[in-house]
Structure 1
Amino acid sequence: MKWEQLPLGPLQTNAYVIWNDSNEAIVVDPGGEAEKLFAWLDSKGLMVSAVLLTHAHFDHIGAVDDVRNKYKVPVYLHEKERDWLSNPALNGSEFFMLNKPIMIKNADKLLVKEQTLTINSIKFEVLETPGHSPGSVSFYVKEAGVVFAGDTLFARSIGRTDLPQGSHEQLLDSIHDKLMSLAEDTTVAPGHGPITTVQTEMDGNPFLNGF
């Protein structure tokens, strides 16, 4: 398995492309700039098989329909945000992108519990990590030692919880119970900013004192 971080969209949200030896790819959180994403995929000779969403805030979903329509692939999202893709008030674009509210088709596959997804022979453990939003999930690939954590945990920071249905206490519980319980050398691939590791954040994240 290989993967690459691609900052895209109005807030330079980290999209991730994950692919296997057969050049079958999965895109996590395509936040925007679809043509830039397509050009990168073409340069690698990759074909997309699925879109995984860590959550449905506007800056993570801007290119979802572009990818879905071009490659005819399913979009996965937690059921607690089933209505967010088509609702600018819920996905935040009504407030943060006043001239370009985002209204896209609902997800094709709803994640209703923690489970293992196998796509292109890659196993993703779906970890429910709410707090930043009610349906936030992290996708953990144990064999590769990486967790795609969305806006739950950042390098030296954590996700904001002042948006609708956010919860600071719940976010800290998610980080403690789900992410900090992973192997210490696990790479954390966040929704914004540089990659980090569980050990690095355990030792030096000022928001996680006592973890």
Structure 2
Amino acid sequence: MLQVKIVPVTAFQQNCSIVWDSETKEAVLIDAGGDAEILKAEVEKLGLTVKELWLTHGHLDHAGAVGTLKKVWSVPVIGPHKEDAFWLDQIQEVSARYGFPIPEKVEVDQWLEGTEVLKLGEEEFEVRFAPGHTPGHVMFYNKNYSLLWTGDVLFKGSIGRTDFPRGNHQQLLDSIQRECFSLPDETQFISGHGPLSTIGFEKQHNPFVASKAG
């Protein structure tokens, strides 16, 4: 059975997801954005073995602890799309600018294109390429549990910012239509910040995209 625990990290309260198979106790972390010691302690408390670190995009509050945890657990980093390499390359510089602790560099083992299927135990996660907030943003979708990890593409009642370098507002709207709103209305999503929501709710009530949902 798939289990998820959300652990908000950094001053930006980014939702890091610890995702695991309850039978094998094998786990992945999605967007380990910071507070590596807190995340490490949570994993130990749950009695899990982390197999991989998955990234939706390269911003510091999503990737800040990845370099450290990769070394701690000797595990591969999967994602995002290679178009976000420039964000990961400057993660130390950007962290210093924001007054964050300077993180370890992030070395990606597998860049994603958006057609892959990742596995955790018997569960499959479809990779969906969703640029706009950043040019290399990806999302992860598990059909069996109707769960989508949207990163900073879609939030409850809001959408991702596009005023960062290489952000693109129209591209973001197109990604939401193509990669989020094509999923069943009952799909629940875990975004990078804030509460959970469903695709159906956002189609009806999200002021940024509801009128375009059809």
> In the alignment, which residue of structure 2 is the partner of 1:70?
72
- Relative to the length of structure 2, the TM-score reads 0.92
2:64 aligned with 1:81: no
Distance 1:33 1:88, change over 3 A: closer
Q: What per-residue deviation string (whole Å, max 9, x for no partner) do you get for residues 126-154 of structure 1?
A: 00000000000110011111000000000
User: Displacement, 1:30?
Assistant: 0.6
Q: What per-residue deviation string (whole Å, max 9, x for no partner) do you get for residues 9-62 of structure 1?
A: 121100001100211000000111111111111111011000000000011111
2:161 aligned with 1:160: yes
Name the SS for the 2:139 alignment partner.
strand
Q: What per-residue deviation string (whole Å, max 9, x for no partner) do you get for residues 144-193 of structure 1?
A: 11000000000000000000000000000000111001010001100000
Which of 27, 30, 37 aligns to 2:29? It is 27
Distance of 1:126 and 1:61 partners within structure 2: 18
> In the alignment, which residue of structure 1 is the partner of 2:179?
178
2:41 aligned with 1:60: no
> In the alignment, which residue of structure 2 is the partner of 1:8?
9
User: Displacement, 1:4?
Assistant: 1.4
Runs of 5+ consecutive residues of structure 2 not aligned to the other structure: none
2:9/2:34 contact within 8 Å kept: yes
Give me the identity figure in percent.
Answer: 37
The farther-off stretch of 138-147 and 65-74 is 65-74
Name the SS for the 1:25 alignment partner.
strand
- Relative to the length of structure 1, the TM-score reads 0.93
Task: Provide the aligned C-alpha RMSD in A.
Answer: 1.7
